[in-house]
C-alpha cells in the first residue's frame, strides 16, 4: 500500500492563495486543532459554550476581521472565508460564533452605525471583550422578516420596544443586541411617516430585556441560541442605527453571514471526508481494508469532488466580494450548494464508518447534526432556491 497524501496535497488549492491568506488559514487551523478539537466532543455532550475562547478569538484577530478600522483586522474576504472554513472543520458552533459577532452584530454597527456607536462598541467587540447578538428572527419563523411583529414606539424623547425574538445566537452572553423592529412614528420625525423596519442597539442590561437559552437542541450543542423577550425596553434616540432603513438593513448583514457559511460548511465537509478516508484504510472487512473496495473508493472520490468544487466556488465568490461585485443571488448559490453538499458528505461518511459513525469517537454525526442548523438558518435551502428561481425567471414565488 502506498502512503496516501492529505486531501490538501491532492488538489493543491493552496497554490490559488496569497501568502497572507495562507497565514490567516494556518492561524485558524492551529487554533481549531489545539484549542477546539481537544474539548469539542465533551462540550457538545455537556451543552457547554466555552466563554474563555471568545477573548482568544479576539486576540487572534478573527472577530470582525473583514472590517476596517475600530480595532478590526481589515483582512480580505478570502482570508475571512478560510478562517470560517477552519473553525467549522472543528465545529459549526464556533464558526457560528464568529459569524454572529463579526458578520452580523459588528457588520450592522460598522455599516449603519454613527461614529459614536462605532467607537463605543466595535473596538471591544473586535478584542473579544464585548459580545454582540443580532435579533431578527421571531418565534413564528425566520423566513419572512417582513412579517415581524416587534415594534418600537415613539415615546417622549426615545423609543419603547416590545416583542419577542427566537433562535438568537449568544443573546444570554451578549453585552449588546442589534434589535430589528417596526417603528411606529406617525409624526414622521425619523423619516418613516408610518412604520418601517429600523435597527436599535440595545445594551442587554436594559430593563425589560430578557434572554433565555433554548434547551433540548440536538444540534449546535456547544453554542448558545436564545429566546429574547422585549417588554417595554426603553432606549434613547442614540440607540437607533442611522444608516439602516427598511429590510435591506438586516439583509445586508445576512449577506455577510451567508458568505461565511459558504466557506464554513466546506470545513465540516472536509472533516467528514478525512474521517471517512482514515477509517477506510484502518477498518478491515472480508480480509482487507474497506478502502480497497471499489464501492468505497467511488464514494470517497465523489465526496472529494464536492469538497473541492465547493471550495473553488467559495473562492470565486470571495474574489467577487473583494472586487465589490458579489450579488445576493450569487451568495445564495454558494450557501445552498455548500450546505447541501456538506450534509450529503456527512451522511455518506457516517455510512462508511458503519456503527462507529454514530458514536462520538468520530466527529461525523456531530457535524451532520450541526449542519441541520446551518441548513436552516440564514435562509433555508428552499428560500435560496426561491431567490435563485426569481433571479432566473424574474417571477417572485414568495
3-state helix, strand and coil shares in percent for the chain, rounded to the nearest 5: 55, 15, 30
Of residues 53 and 251, the one with the C-beta less far from ligand TGC = 251
Q: Pick the binder of ligand TGC from 45, 144, 155, 237 (CB under 6 A).
A: 144
| CB atoms near residue 239 (< 10 Å) | 22
For residues 365, 219, 101, 83, the Cα torsion angle rounded to the nearest 10 degrees is 10
| CB atoms near residue 378 (< 10 Å) | 26
> Using the rule CB under 6 A, is 251 a contact of ligand TGC?
yes
Among the residue ranges 24-32, 121-129, 243-251, 355-363, the one whose residues contact ligand TGC (CB under 6 A) = 243-251
Residues facing 230 on adjacent strands: 163, 209
> Using the rule CB under 6 A, is 398 a contact of ligand TGC?
yes
Q: Pick the binder of ligand TGC from 62, 80, 167, 259 (CB under 6 A).
A: 167
Q: Is 260 exposed, middle or buried (0-12, 13-18, 19+ CB in 10 A)?
A: buried
Residue 248 CB, shortest distance to ligand TGC, in Å, is: 4
Residue 119 CB, shortest distance to ligand TGC, in Å, is: 24
User: Would you please indicate which residues are annotated as catalytic (active-site) residues?
Assistant: 378
Of residues 139 and 398, the one with the C-beta less far from ligand TGC = 398
Closest CA to 361 of 299, 268, 275: 275
Element housing 159 (H / E): strand 158-169
Of residues 38 and 139, the one with the C-beta less far from ligand TGC = 139
Residue 250 CB, shortest distance to ligand TGC, in Å, is: 8
| CB atoms near residue 344 (< 10 Å) | 17
> Using the rule CB under 6 A, is 195 a contact of ligand TGC?
no
Closest CA to 128 of 84, 94, 89: 94
* Residues 47-86: x where in contact with ligand TGC by CB under 6 A, - otherwise, as a string: ----------------------------------------
CA 239 – CA 279 distance, rounded (Å): 53
- Name the residues that contact ligand TGC, by CB under 6 A: 96, 100, 104, 134, 136-137, 142-146, 167-169, 225, 246-248, 251-252, 254-255, 328, 377-379, 383, 387, 398
Amino acid at each position: 500500500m502506498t502512503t496516501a497524501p492529505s486531501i490538501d496535497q491532492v488538489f493543491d488549492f493552496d497554490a490559488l492563495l496569497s501568502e497572507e491568506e495562507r497565514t490567516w488559514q494556518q492561524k485558524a487551523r492551529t487554533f481549531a486543532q489545539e484549542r477546539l478539537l481537544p474539548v469539542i466532543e465533551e462540550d457538545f455532550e455537556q451543552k457547554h459554550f466555552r466563554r474563555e475562547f471568545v477573548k482568544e478569538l479576539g486576540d487572534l484577530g478573527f472577530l470582525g476581521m473583514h472590517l476596517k478600522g475600530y480595532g478590526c483586522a481589515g483582512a480580505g474576504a478570502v482570508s475571512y472565508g478560510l478562517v470560517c472554513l477552519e473553525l467549522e472543520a472543528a465545529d459549526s458552533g464556533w464558526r457560528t460564533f464568529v459569524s454572529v459577532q463579526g458578520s452580523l452584530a459588528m457588520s450592522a454597527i460598522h455599516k449603519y452605525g454613527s461614529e459614536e456607536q462605532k467607537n463605543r462598541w466595535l473596538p471591544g467587540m473586535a478584542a473579544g471583550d464585548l459580545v454582540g447578538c443580532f435579533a431578527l428572527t421571531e418565534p413564528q419563523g425566520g423566513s419572512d422578516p417582513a412579517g415581524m411583529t416587534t415594534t418600537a414606539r415613539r415615546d417622549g424623547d426615545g423609543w419603547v420596544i416590545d416583542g419577542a425574538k427566537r433562535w438568537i445566537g449568544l443573546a444570554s452572553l451578549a453585552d449588546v443586541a442589534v434589535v430589528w423592529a417596526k417603528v411606529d412614528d406617525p409624526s414622521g420625525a425619523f423619516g418613516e411617516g408610518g412604520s418601517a423596519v429600523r435597527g436599535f442597539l440595545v445594551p442587554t442590561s436594559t430593563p425589560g430585556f430578557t434572554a433565555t437559552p433554548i434547551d433540548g437542541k440536538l444540534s449546535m450543542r456547544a453554542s448558545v441560541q436564545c429566546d429574547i423577550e422585549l417588554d417595554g425596553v426603553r432606549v434613547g434616540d442614540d440607540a437607533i442605527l442611522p444608516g439602516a432603513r427598511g429590510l435591506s438593513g438586516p439583509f445586508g448583514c445576512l449577506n455577510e453571514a451567508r458568505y461565511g457559511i459558504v466557506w464554513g460548511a466546506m470545513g465540516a465537509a472536509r472533516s467528514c471526508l478525512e474521517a471517512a478516508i482514515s477509517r477506510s484504510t484502518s477498518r478491515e472487512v472480508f480480509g482487507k481494508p474497506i478502502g480497497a473496495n471499489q464501492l468505497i473508493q467511488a464514494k470517497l472520490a465523489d465526496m472529494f469532488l464536492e469538497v473541492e468544487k465547493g471550495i473553488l466556488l467559495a473562492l470565486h465568490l470571495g474574489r467577487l466580494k473583494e472586487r465589490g461585485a458579489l450579488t445576493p443571488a450569487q451568495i445564495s448559490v454558494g450557501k445552498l450548494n455548500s450546505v447541501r453538499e456538506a450534509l450529503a458528505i456527512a451522511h455518506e461518511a457516517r455510512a462508511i464508518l458503519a456503527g462507529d459513525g454514530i458514536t462520538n469517537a468520530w466527529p461525523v454525526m456531530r457535524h451532520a447534526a450541526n449542519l441541520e442548523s446551518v441548513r436552516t438558518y440564514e435562509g433555508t435551502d428552499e428560500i435560496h432556491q426561491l431567490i435563485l428561481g426569481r433571479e432566473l425567471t424574474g417571477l417572485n414565488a414568495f
